[in-house]
């Protein structure tokens, strides 16, 4: 069996980096977009077995998901309440963080996906996840801490593979 050439190793590393970059970018982008989602209750006619509106005029309430700027919520209300009781997280720090969290996730997701200032974007994403981890440590959310740790490890690994970044808009 012959040894792989440097070229095939470089391509493997490039593809590995591209895969990591795609996953991290999509994860950040979709998470940011989800910060702008909400649900509303709408009434719809009850359908019979044939799929036609029930003749009695009965209606059912259905939850529908929607996206809008007015639905923005950086974190669930239950977590916000826990954070507000944590003295290490004063409102003058958390309020601006909540205000920009969704937007930052979207921007970082796009820049990582497209390969715009990839190294800086990955590093910023890692710092954001470290910041989120601090909050989860303070409110003792161990499962969330573990998930974020996995993300940080993936970002750190992506940063080590960044030298193989062949598919990028900018180099940095």
Instruction: Give me the residue spans of the domains in the chain.
Output: 6-36+72-164, 38-70
pLDDT over 80 at 3, yes or no: no
- Under the banding of pLDDT at 50, 70 and 90, the label for residue 2 is very low
pLDDT over 50 at 156, yes or no: yes
**Mean pLDDT within 153-158:** 96
C-alpha distance from residue 135 to each of 14, 33, 75, 101, 158 (Å)? 34, 21, 11, 13, 24
Share of the chain above pLDDT 90, in %: 55
> For residue 172, what pLDDT is reported?
62
Could you tell me which residue, 79 or 55, shows the higher pLDDT? 79
> For residue 50, what pLDDT is reported?
79
């Amino acid at each position: 069996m012959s040894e792989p050439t440097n070229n095939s190793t470089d391509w493997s590393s490039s593809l590995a980096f591209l895969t990591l970059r795609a996953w991290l970018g999509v994860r950040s982008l979709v998470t940011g977009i989800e910060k702008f989602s909400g649900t509303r209750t709408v009434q719809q006619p009850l359908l019979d077995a044939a799929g036609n509106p029930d003749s009695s005029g009965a209606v059912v309430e259905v939850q529908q998901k929607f996206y809008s700027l007015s639905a923005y919520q950086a974190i669930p209300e239950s977590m916000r309440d826990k954070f507000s009781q944590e003295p290490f997280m004063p409102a003058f720090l958390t309020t601006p963080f909540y205000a920009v969290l969704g937007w930052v996730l979207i921007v970082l997701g796009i820049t990582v996906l497209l390969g715009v200032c990839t190294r800086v974007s990955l590093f910023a994403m890692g710092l954001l996840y470290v910041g989120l981890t601090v909050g989860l440590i303070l409110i003792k959310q161990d499962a969330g801490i573990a998930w974020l740790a996995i993300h940080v490890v993936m970002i750190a690994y992506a940063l080590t593979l960044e030298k193989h970044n062949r598919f990028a808009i900018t180099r940095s």
